[in-house]
Amino acid sequence: MKLVLIGTGNISNALGRLLANAGHQVLQVYGRDRQRAAHLAYDTGAAPVSDWKAIRSDADLYITAISDRALTGFKEKLQLPGKFLVHTAGSVPLNVLEGVSERTGVWYPLQSIRGDQPTPHKIPFLIQTSAPEDSVLLRELSESIGCPSQVVTESVRINMHHAAVWVNNFPNLLYSIAYRLTEENKVPFDFLLPLLQETADRQNGTDPWKWQTGPALRNDTVTLQKHMDLLKSHAGWQELYAKMSAAIADLTQKAE
């Protein structure tokens, strides 16, 4: 497939390389920053462009991976009448692309991609298109780089973007709190890593609740109170501990 990449951030870099490696022809990489555009263009065998007017009109697909804010003013910069154009943002409506093209879509990678880290092996894609038949093309594109995909509504995509917060941002916060607790106790965080990993590694797609253990599940009020006492110099974390324990108790009741 002949592609044009718009944007030179983490997503564009990761997807661009995966697509080029899978044999797709990346015609151009657009980037405001010439050096970044040149770098990604070199790695994908494309031509770098920094002028909107220089974007070719003969690609099969235009993939934008620019910031959510930049997407909002997109139509003032680029016109691609009749061309298939997708954005890659989790929470941005599809209709933000209206006015750039009539044939639009979203190819949303449900994964955390950082430029300073190797690209994760598995990137599940959520797909949405203005014309139903175009979803086939995005499913094939996902498959070509070895990634699963599912066609969803806009509402489902936004809900999944939200669900991602619960398995990424929030666990990472909990890890950060635990890190501070190990520091206070002069035990290396390494001592908690095997448990942290085991907790994640057990997940196999079925309900994680079957792995739930701990004082809140057992309604062990003595241990719960001990832990609350240990947090007395961390008022915010103490409240969080209480709320989290209440949510566990609540799910326990529902499971009974």
Residue ranges in 207-226 that form contacts with its own copies under rule CB under 8 A:
207-209, 211-217, 223, 226
Which of 25, 50, 79, 91 contacts its own copies by CB under 8 A? 91
Q: How far is the CB of 249 from its own copies (least distance, A)?
A: 10
Q: How far is the CB of 80 from its own copies (least distance, A)?
A: 27
Subset of 8-47 contacting its own copies (CB under 8 A): none
Subset of 159-188 contacting its own copies (CB under 8 A): 159-160, 162-179, 181-182, 184-188
For its own copies, the closer of residues 99 and 148 by Cβ is: 148
Which of 67, 72, 95, 117 contacts its own copies by CB under 8 A? 117
Dihedral sign (CA 18, 1, 46, 150): negative
For its own copies, the closer of residues 51 and 229 by Cβ is: 229
For its own copies, the closer of residues 79 and 111 by Cβ is: 111
Q: How far is the CB of 222 from its own copies (least distance, A)?
A: 9
For its own copies, the closer of residues 47 and 181 by Cβ is: 181
Subset of 97-116 contacting its own copies (CB under 8 A): 110-112
Q: Does 76 bind its own copies (CB under 8 A)?
A: no
Which of 43, 94, 154, 189 contacts its own copies by CB under 8 A? 189
